[in-house]
Amino acid sequence: MTRFAAPIAEQIWNMKYRLKEADGTPIDATVEETWSRVAKSLASVEKKPAEWEPKFYKALEDFRYLPAGRITAGAGTNRSVTLFNCFVMGTIPDTMSGIFDNLREAALTMQQGGGIGYDFSTIRPKGTTVHGVAADASGPLSFMDVWDAMCRTIMSAGSRRGAMMATMRCDHPDVEDFITAKSDANRLRMFNMSVLVTDPFMEAVKADKPWDLVWDGAVVRTVQARELWDSIMQSTYSHAEPGVIFIDRINEMNNLNYVETIAATNPCGEQPLPPYGACLLGSVNLARLVHFPFEKSAHVSEDELTELVATAVRMMDNVVDASKFPLEAQAKEAAAKRRIGLGVTGLADALLMTGLRYGSEEAARQTEVWMKAIARAAYLASVDLAKEKGAFPLFDADQYLSSGNMMQMDDDVRDAIRTHGIRNALLTSVAPTGTISLYAGNVSSGIEPVFAYAYTRKVLQKDGTRTEEEVVDYAVKMWRDLHGDAELPDYFVNAQTLPAMDHVRMQAAAQKWVDSSISKTINVPEDISFDDFKEVYMEAWDSGCKGCTTYRPNDVTGSVLSVEPETKPEVIADENAGDVIYMTEPLDRPGELTGQTYKLKWPDSEHAIYITVNDILHQGQQRPFEVFINSKNMEHFAWTVALTRMISAVFRRGGDVSFVVEELKAVFDPRGGAWIQGKYVPSILAAIGGVIEKHMISTGFLAGEGMGLKTDPHAEVVNMKPKGNACSSCGQYTLRMVEGCMTCSDCGYSKCG
């Protein structure tokens, strides 16, 4: 009898969370062994591990409590990975050395698997004089490009690629460039971006007043606040970014506002953190806690919820002591405040099981009841931990209880904190749960509505073929099991039909009892008017949210929903696309090809590298067909052979292959690059990319350095018109925006983890 509620759940476990040897041989034979591994690891820091291990296992059992993926994948493995999901890096000094010291720290953090946030407001604006070097500053966006290139080369622990958040204050002189930066579909793709919006700015927007852009205490120029706000709105309306963070509200409501100031968040926005702040995540699965689903007596037992929350809080507090940290400053920050972020998943499913329509006023009230119960239970559990293990080191009863968030807490909880202290400074957050919600049986994600009742997923088989399987929402499957083919009740709604203001209502209801923040995406239809779109953000501000993220289908990031591609002529050329050719099968190699060989001498290397690029003339276009990379240095043998095979395979498929150059040139070597012909090259791989680019330019395939194909690179394949972008993990056109993360419904891949 399997514990998994759906095939995709077992596949996610096997791919993401199952402990394996380096060669892929499983160590965890079953999911029960995964639960045991995690329970044993987190109990090991207790004085009586044998007492707590079975209690921790019970919480994990049947997916009732879901630690964040980094904990499930990393706990008890003895591997050098962090169990923390969220980091905000140190304040970036406005000096060249300070900037690149911070870049190094970011690389180390991402290498261990952490997502990071940065406030770029501390870097002087473009054009400002740099004293002592007789030059003008290049501005924060130029350095963001450096961070972006770094992120593309750092693989996070496991199968995760790093994610980053960039913020900038609404009064920084470069904020207008920041707002529009991602209108270029090829720029800053590794960043989520949000504007830090202050209370005075929102007041100026409402009153249509002037707004000063300031640097170093001096006004650089003045704009109209409403025009700047409309610029933010137009940008996110057109290409889904930047998001908006109400930063003054975050600092006012912060339990720790007496010892820290927040200026950035983690990549998905649910964790506003101070410099070097770190937080770990976990979720109570409300969908597994509903008794008598779809009956009049359906309910979540408050006693059961309280017990589960208390155990989860203890487990998460233990993670603070069990985890490694990329940087010592992060370890000290975590130990001083012991932040945790306990949230929920399966909320929409739980509402359906109790007969409530997501987005309705009744559902919002029930959400507030559940979230308050979780908050109370979490705070009281942390008080009990303080009695046993001590309060967090920076606890000060008077200042802590005077913070904005604690002022609304029930008197009995406040009295307990005043008397005994509290172990964890902040306790609640609603994280993106896209992958763990699939692992739990495709429950609804976080506090999001059900995305779709069911969809067809393509599954890659061992022989390379793909089969189709239906993936059904957890609550919908339960309804079917109970009622067969009976029509779904009218209170079943999903993200495709839900009005935008219903999203905001649910976010605001949950936020009231969440002391950090919430990762939530408000999906809006493509045909929403601009004025209605702006109202979503204004309502989020007016209703007490700490931030707002929307997603409207657009030309840059594609559509939320995808259309499955059909099959395929062997060689396909679009008549409107000039010389761009797309092939589903590689071309046969002729007996003879023309090409050019280039010698690359890397400084301090004994042997040169020789790069041969051969071309083929196909349908009137000369295009690269294969590459050979050779060196007498045997240390280079394996990777040069691999690069030869991979690049040649890509070239033989046709299409826009200029991305090969782009990706190679973006690779940097942490040991340092080299100056070649008066130009700094960040790595030997980047140098190879430059050679290939040079060849493409000489044959006319590229118009110039960094310019891509000389003809339209956006040709559509005949009979193949998928909407949106392909998943970088499985290649399927099944990406959707969930809680601020592009997530693949076929393989579970998520940019944010």
Q: Which residues are catalytic?
A: 266, 268, 270
d(CA 407, CA 254): 11
CA distances from 298 to 154, 354, 544 (A): 47, 5, 30
**Residue partners of 328: CB distance under 8 A and separation at least 6:** none
Distance CA 557, CA 510 (A): 28
Question: Cα–Cα distance between 427 and 37 in angstroms, integer?
Answer: 24
Of the candidates 352, 364, 360, 222, the one whose C-alpha atom is nearest the C-alpha of residue 295 is 352
Contact 369, 363 (CB under 8 A): no
| Distance in angstroms (rounded) separating the CA atoms of residues 614 and 652 | 11
* Pairing verdict, β 115-119 and 86-88: parallel
| Pair 8, 435: CB distance under 8 Å | no
Which tokens in the block code for residue 28? 């965890």
Inter-CA distances, 83 with 113, 332, 505, Å: 8, 15, 33
Q: Within 10 A of 646 (CB to CB), how many other CB atoms are there?
A: 12
In contact, 526 and 552? CB cutoff 8 Å: yes
Longest dimension (CA), the chain: 85
B/e letters for 173-204, b = 16+ CB within 10 Å, e = fewer, are bbbbebbbbbeeeeebebbbbbbbbbeebbeb
Rounded Cα distance, 565 and 499, in Å: 29
How far CA 430 is from CA of 315, 342, 356, 655, in Å, comes to 17, 7, 21, 41
- Closest to 475 measured CA to CA, from 443, 435, 497: 443
Alpha carbon distance, N-terminus to C-terminus of the chain: 29
CB of 338 closer than 8 Å to CB of 102: no
Under 8 Å between Cβ of 666 and 686:
yes
- CA atoms of 220 and 313, how far apart (whole Å): 48
Q: Find out whether 239 and 188 touch, Cβ atoms under 8 Å.
A: no
Tokens of 366: 């029930």
If phi > 0 it is left, if psi is from -120 to 50 it is alpha, else beta; for residue 143 that is alpha
Tokens for 97, please give them.
């050395």
Query: What is the 3 state secondary structure string of 522-546?
Result: EECCCCCCHHHHHHHHHHHHHCCCC
